[in-house]
């Protein structure tokens, strides 16, 4: 609790512009185990400052979150969500600090978001505002008409956060859990991303990135990846896709087995937007692990207070599946998020979600912003 108090005092004293401050708690109830786990209090401060003068500009981002765990002995984590400075001059933008990158055009399992480590304390974290961990580095973006190129250098890659020993996703204690420590200015990550927006509405991007292996959480081996993403907008329809090819990747057919091989993954989807709801459909292929899924997502936004959503992934040839039902309630500055996750399937090297078939859970997140 002392860390939350320190963060509150510091954040409100630094900026006279009264940044947004959020206090909340998250906890998961696991039905088969009949217990609460991964429960913590959190505090988050968000502030941004922008100043533009003709073609020059400065933007400061201050977004820090602290998480204090009360269901385990894990240490309090202070997470710089976005703590950076951006300088703009003509068609150039330079950013330095703790940042998170978004490269994927899809929902659920984002193939191309390989520039940041992940929080795997709960396997089903697909909300990247919680699952993605920041890295420290710099990037330089150059724009020329419809062409945009971004050069990225990560000086501190940060590490994955693995399930804590004894928690539902690490019950047998095969791994120690906690944050994977990585030293500063050693084994940097780097890459380049180029985007081009065609007049037809096609947005095409190419990616190269040298990074720590993401297919096996917590592994201290670096690999090279090549990615291609696209989105095409036509009236209310959006066609999109992610494709990722990783050389000598470290794939994990089972939780105790790691194999080194070239790794190709592909995901294609289509979205339709109506006035009050959005429907998304997609297929995903992992050609090395033979895990192929069809997925769908439905979001309804007609109500001001209640925002329901449903997402499902189903193995095309097997019983392996993941069903997620979300309900978000907002009353002024008070928010409640309720999420139900269900898994099913067998526990073979061709299944993914079936390994967690006994870990159906109910997540509650309650917060208030000031």
Q: Give residue-wise pLDDT tens across range 259-285.
A: 999 999 999 999 998 989 999 999 999
Q: Classify each residue of 292-308 as buried b or exposed e, where b means 16 or more C-beta atoms within 10 Å of its C-beta.
A: bbebbbebeeeeeeebb
Q: Give the count of beta carbons closer than 10 Å to the beta carbon of residue 228.
A: 15
Has residue 10 been placed in a domain? no
Average pLDDT over residues 24-38: 92
Q: Determine the Cα–Cα distance for residues 364 and 316; give it in Å rounded to an integer.
A: 31
Has residue 134 been placed in a domain? yes
Average pLDDT over residues 37-52: 94
Tokens (6 digits) for 195: 């985007």
The domain in which residue 136 lies consists of: 91-272
Residue-level pLDDT at 4: 41
Residue-level pLDDT at 166: 77
Has residue 147 been placed in a domain? yes
Q: Give residue-wise pLDDT tens across range 69-105.
A: 998 888 899 999 999 999 999 899 999 999 999 988 7
CA distances from 337 to 109, 305, 357 (A): 20, 12, 23
Tokens (6 digits) for 327: 């309900």
Q: How many domains does the chain have?
A: 1
Residue-level pLDDT at 17: 55
Has residue 98 been placed in a domain? yes
How much is the mean pLDDT over the chain? Answer: 89
Confidence of residue 108 (pLDDT cuts 50, 70, 90): low
Q: Give residue-wise pLDDT tens across range 153-209.
A: 999 999 999 888 878 887 776 777 888 999 999 999 999 999 999 999 899 999 999
Residue-level pLDDT at 74: 84
Has residue 327 been placed in a domain? no
Has residue 124 been placed in a domain? yes
4 vs 227, residue with greater confidence:
227
Question: What is the phi/psi pair of residue 368, to 5°?
Answer: -140, 135
In contact, 165 and 173? CB cutoff 8 Å: yes
pLDDT of 10 > 50? The answer is no
pLDDT of 253 > 90? The answer is no
The model's pTM is 0.89
Q: Determine the Cα–Cα distance for residues 193 and 209; give it in Å rounded to an integer.
A: 8
Percent of the chain with pLDDT over 90: 69
Q: Determine the Cα–Cα distance for residues 244 and 7; give it in Å rounded to an integer.
A: 39
Cα–Cα nearest to 119, from 178, 70, 39, 46? 178
Task: Collect contacts of 302-305 with beta carbons under 8 A, ≥24 apart.
Answer: 302/276, 302/277, 304/330, 305/329, 305/330, 305/331
pLDDT of 246 > 60? The answer is yes
Q: Using CA atoms of 309, 315, 319, 324 in order, give the dihedral in degrees to the nearest 10.
A: -20
Question: What is the phi/psi pair of residue 43, to 5°?
Answer: -135, 140
Residue-level pLDDT at 54: 75
Q: Determine the Cα–Cα distance for residues 215 and 264; give it in Å rounded to an integer.
A: 11
* 37-46, 99-108, 268-277, 318-327, range with the lowest pLDDT: 99-108
Cα–Cα nearest to 154, from 135, 173, 131? 135
Has residue 370 been placed in a domain? no
pLDDT of 15 > 90? The answer is no
Has residue 286 been placed in a domain? no
Residue-level pLDDT at 135: 97
Nearest 5°: the CA angle 75, 81, 83 is 115
């Amino acid at each position: 609790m002392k860390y939350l108090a320190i963060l509150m005092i510091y954040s409100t004293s630094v900026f006279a512009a009264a940044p947004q401050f959020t206090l909340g708690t998250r906890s998961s109830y696991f039905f088969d185990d009949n217990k609460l786990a991964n429960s913590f209090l959190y505090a988050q401060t968000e502030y941004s400052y922008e100043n533009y003068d003709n073609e020059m500009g400065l933007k400061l981002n201050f977004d820090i979150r602290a998480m204090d765990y009360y269901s385990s002995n894990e240490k309090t984590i202070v997470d710089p969500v976005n703590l950076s400075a951006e300088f703009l001059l003509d068609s150039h933008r330079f950013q330095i600090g703790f940042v998170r990158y978004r490269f994927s055009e899809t929902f659920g399992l984002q193939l191309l978001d390989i520039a940041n480590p992940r929080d795997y304390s709960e396997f089903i974290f697909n909300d990247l505002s919680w699952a993605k961990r920041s890295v420290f580095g710099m990037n330089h973006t150059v724009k020329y008409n419809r062409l945009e190129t971004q050069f990225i250098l990560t000086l501190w890659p940060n590490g994955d956060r693995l399930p804590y020993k004894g928690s539902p996703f690490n019950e047998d204690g095969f791994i120690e859990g906690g944050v994977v420590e990585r030293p500063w200015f050693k084994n940097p990550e780097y890459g380049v991303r180029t985007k081009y927006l065609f007049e037809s509405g096609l947005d095409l991007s190419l990616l190269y990135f040298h990074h720590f292996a993401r297919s096996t959480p917590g592994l201290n081996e670096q690999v090279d990846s090549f990615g291609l993403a696209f989105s095409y907008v036509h009236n209310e329809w959006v066609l999109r896709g992610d494709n990722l090819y990783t050389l000598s990747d470290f794939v994990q057919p089972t939780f105790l087995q790691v194999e080194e091989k070239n790794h190709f993954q592909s995901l294609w989807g289509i979205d339709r937007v109506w006035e009050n709801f959005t429907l998304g459909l997609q297929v995903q292929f992992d050609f090395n692990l033979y895990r192929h899924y069809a997925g769908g997502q439905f979001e309804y936004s007609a109500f001001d207070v209640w925002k329901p959503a449903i997402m499902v992934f189903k193995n095309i040839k097997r019983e392996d599946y993941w069903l997620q039902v979300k309900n978000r309630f907002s009353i002024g500055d008070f928010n409640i998020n309720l999420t139900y996750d269900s898994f099913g399937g067998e526990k073979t090297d061709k299944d993914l979600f079936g390994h967690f078939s006994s870990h159906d859970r109910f997540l509650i997140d309650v917060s208030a912003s000031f």
